[in-house]
Amino acid sequence: MVDSSAAGAALVTTRHLVKVFGKTRALDDVSIEVNAGETFGLIGPNGSGKTTLIRTLLGIAAPTSGEALLLGQRMPNRAVSRQVGYMSQASVLYSDLSVQENLAFFGALYGLRGKRLAQRIGETLELVDLADRRGVAVGVLSGGMRQRISLAAALIHQPRVLFLDEPTVGIDPELRLEFWDYFARLNQQGVTIMVSTHTLEEATRCHRLALLRFGKLIALDTPAALLAASGQQDFDHAFLYYARRDASADAAGAARPLAQQ
Amino acid sequence: MFASIRRTLALAIRIVRQFVRDKRTLALLFLAPLLIMTLLNFVLGSSGSNSLTLAVVPPPGLGHDAIQQAISKGLAKAKGVQVIYIDADQVDAKLRAGDANAALIFPPDFVSATSVGAQPSVTLRLDGSNPPAAEQAKTLVTFALVSLNRSAGAQPGDPSAAPVALHTSYLYGGPQYTQTDALAPLFIGLFAFFFVFLLASVAFLRERSQGTLERILVSPLSRTELTLGYVLGFMLFATLQSLVILGFVIYVLRVHYAGNLWLLFLVTLALTIGGVNMGIFASAFARNELQVIQFIPLLIVPQALLGGLFFPVNTLPVVLKQLAYIMPLTWANFALRDVMLKGLGFSDIWPDLAFLVGFAILMVVISAISLRQERA
């Protein structure tokens, strides 16, 4: 176990994080802290660096410069990865295996076995309302169901921190609401959540939001404070306000390379 | 390097489950080799001895019977060789038409020359477009001429003249060994390596493209465990495949077999570890399944061609020979042939095995490096 209590309440920390792919600065000097028990939203259009930020934090991508810490540790770190859950954009499952077999595989990767594994499979399927689909091959399930199984697989080992990369992309409004209810329930159980989305109406359900544009952090605050400071009525306009402010700052600085475009 | 057996097993079990679900791949693994072995058996069996036609241009003054008798002595072991008699001006026409595979041309002065003790020269004209038949005709005729020369030269027309008795003995196997016998061990190696390489690289490619590899790399499963799990899962099917092929060639095709099953298993094990890891490595350079298939002419076909399956390695040109000696299948073929045909033991094949183990280790290292690159 990694002792994160000594490092204060921040479970996720980035300091001046930069990630460069070729000529693209996917992350440009991003510094954030996510506290225990928070639901932290990453907001921004496609290509703004949300996925890269999550992948860098998880240790799938290495930072070009700066620091990315999970539970106070640099990733990859096996002790930390045991306490972290990850659900990526697409439903990441083996379509030729049954729901039960998929969850059993991911559970076993985290050291779950026997009764404990069976219990966790039951609990997570209960949470996503798919307890009756255990024996069905994942390949024949609908997209929405697969997305729910993906979430169950990310939760199988009871992570302390959960990374959700656009978990509601491409699913119908009803299921989207259900998903946010799941997230709220998990958050109440003490799970810290970092969730990315480009659906701004989901933003209000987060405790705090980080707004990303071309890899840069352009604003970071609670949803209410972000709205108030922008003087706008809704998040679409609020985001535009911060984007324009950032763009004019760029123009004034005029030193930034255009490589991000 | 620390590896949890449980996590490794979880991965191996998952791979086994996916195999079991995938009936088409199972059929490819187990039925395709049997189909190919069966076809091969028929092809090799038919091109053996019964399709050879030898045209003879007899010398004047020597009866057909005497020649027939002499030739048939030389051809005692080769059943089904048909002998036809033609005139000297028909030779090329017969060969061109495919009515004969070879023509044996006696000079007109054959009898007179031999009766005065001179050595007359006999010409053998071959259809070079069919090398196996040509080679066979050459061998047969050489044997036949030995006895013909003797009987014609010593006492013309006397059937009681004692011909040279050609005594043949075998170091390994015997006259009952056919080409199928000689090829069966090599096919076990080829199939094990080929299918394991193909299926492992496709499986790993899918893992990569469907995002599950990323999901696994985020979990506590280490890269060592990932590699081990893959090897273990594929090992089970490679072993089963070898056993099925072995059982089929021994009990159905009635191939002769002299060796030790454990040594066969060791060779297959080393080949599988090498093949799985070569597959994992290759998958990093492929974006889809078709691109994996494109590796076959590059990585598998040269090994099949040069590894001793079709041509003995020591008859290859120097450059190709050197190439053959860095190919795992060449060494697997040496070992498999020694074990299955010659009945040799571990003390005889350990250098071959050592090369295969070295290759396997090299591939494990290379695939581990390619997995490390995964962290972009």
Residues in chain A whose Cβ is within 8 Å of chain B: 21, 55, 58-62, 76, 78, 81-82, 84, 86, 88, 90, 92-94, 96-97, 101, 104-106, 108-111, 113, 137, 153
Measure in Å the smallest separation between the Cα of B18 and chain A Cα atoms: 6
Contact at CB, B376 and A105, closer than 8 angstroms: no
Q: How many inter-chain contacts (A to B, CB under 8 Å) are there? A: 76
The Cβ of residue B77 has, within 10 Å, a number of other Cβ atoms equal to 11
Query: Looking at chain A, which residue has its C-alpha nearest residue B221?
Result: A109
Contact at CB, A59 and B221, closer than 8 angstroms: no
CB A110 within 8 A of CB A157: yes
pLDDT of residue B257: 76
**Cα angle value A213/A235/A228 (rounded, 5°):** 105
Residues 6+ apart with CB under 8 A from B213: B204, B207, B374
Measure in Å the smallest separation between the Cα of A85 and chain B Cα atoms: 8
Measure in Å the smallest separation between the Cα of B206 and chain A Cα atoms: 10
Complete DSSP assignment for A216-234 = EEEEEE-HHHHHHHHT-SS
Beta bridge pairs of residue A19: A27
Q: What is the CA radius of gyration of chain A?
A: 19
Contact at CB, B211 and A90, closer than 8 angstroms: yes
Measure in Å the smallest separation between the Cα of A253 and chain B Cα atoms: 31
Beta-strand pair A192-197/A10-21? unpaired
User: A59 to chain B: which residues are within 8 Å by CB?
Assistant: 217-218, 375
Query: Looking at chain B, which residue has its C-alpha nearest residue A93?
Result: B212
Amino acid making up residue A239: F
Q: What is the pLDDT of residues B121-161, one digit of tens each?
A: 778 887 777 666 777 777 777 766 665 655 555 444 443 33
User: B21 to chain A: which residues are within 8 Å by CB?
Assistant: 96-97, 137
Query: Looking at chain A, which residue has its C-alpha nearest residue B7?
Result: A109
- Return the residue in A109, A161, A162 with the most chain B beta carbons within 10 A, the one to mutate for interface testing: A109
pLDDT of residue B357: 95
- Coil, helix or strand for B374? coil
Q: What is the DSSP letter of B109?
A: T
**Cα angle value B349/B353/B354 (rounded, 5°):** 115
pLDDT of residue B148: 60
pLDDT of residue B182: 76
pLDDT of residue B15: 92
Contact at CB, B219 and A61, closer than 8 angstroms: no
Show the tokens assigned to B18.
Answer: 């996916």
pLDDT of residue B173: 61
- Nearest CB to A81 within list B13, B21, B219: B219
- Coil, helix or strand for A17? strand
Q: What is the ipTM of this complex?
A: 0.84
Contact at CB, A111 and B220, closer than 8 angstroms: yes
Q: Nearest-CA neighbor of A74 among A128, A15, A121, A123?
A: A15
Query: Looking at chain B, which residue has its C-alpha nearest residue A21?
Result: B376
φ, ψ (nearest 5 deg) of residue A70:
-120, 125
User: B214 to chain A: which residues are within 8 Å by CB?
Assistant: 55, 60, 88, 92
Which residue stretches of chain B have pLDDT < 70?
1-3, 45-51, 62-64, 66-80, 114-115, 117-120, 130-132, 143-179, 374-376
Residue position matching structure tokens 């499986």: B203
Q: Nearest-CA neighbor of A238 among A251, A215, A254, A221?
A: A221
pTM above 0.80, yes or no: no
Q: What is the pLDDT of residues B329-351, one digit of tens each?
A: 999 999 988 888 888 888 889 99
Beta-strand pair A216-221/B102-105? unpaired
Residue position matching structure tokens 């495919």: B98
Which residue stretches of chain A have pLDDT < 70?
1-9, 253-261
